[in-house]
Structure 1
Amino acid sequence: MGEKKCPNCGKWSNWNQNFRDTCEHCGEILSKVDLEFEEKRAAQKKVNEEQWIFHIKEDDSDFIKKSKKIGQFFYSVYITIITVIAWLIAALPG
């Protein structure tokens, strides 16, 4: 726990390093810029997850859900193999 100067009124308030902490004097959010950034990042993460080819939607049929799970498995295996190969190349001496 610490203190942070309010960007709105300029007075110091207790701050738990939470994006949603508010000023004790004027009620303004102490980390408004950080909160906006975090909200944009969360929204972008959700959009990226939904656009991924193997994203399983609730309205997908059972066949599609199983196909996507199998696709996720093989994608994970592929990425693992590529990572191991890259590690081996990087670990080779000079």
Structure 2
Amino acid sequence: MADTTSSSFTKKCPHCQQWSAWNQRPNDRCEHCGGFLDPRAQRRVAEENRKAIEPKEPSLLEIQSDDNVIVRFFKRIGRVGQVVFGAILAFFIAVITFVAG
């Protein structure tokens, strides 16, 4: 039976500085000290898992299904204000760019 754990890649362990087989996965460990061969990838995977578990916070102007009529009205006014502000800002940037040549 063939050994499926062998790899054609090796990586130097950042902890013990020994070379170990590396399957290019974030959870690959050093054969000598047992430390992660790619600690940055391991932290990134842990952070992604943590973010997937956390509930997403609603944004300030996101209209929720349980908002009452008055709150929905003011949130829509706020959204319109954001769009108008962005349009005015874009207009001023375009005028300044045009004048500058």
User: TM tier, shorter chain?
Assistant: 0.3 to 0.5
Which structure has the greater CA radius of gyration?
2
Looking at secondary structure, tell me which structure has more helix per residue.
1
TM-score by length of 2: 0.46
TM-score by length of 1: 0.48
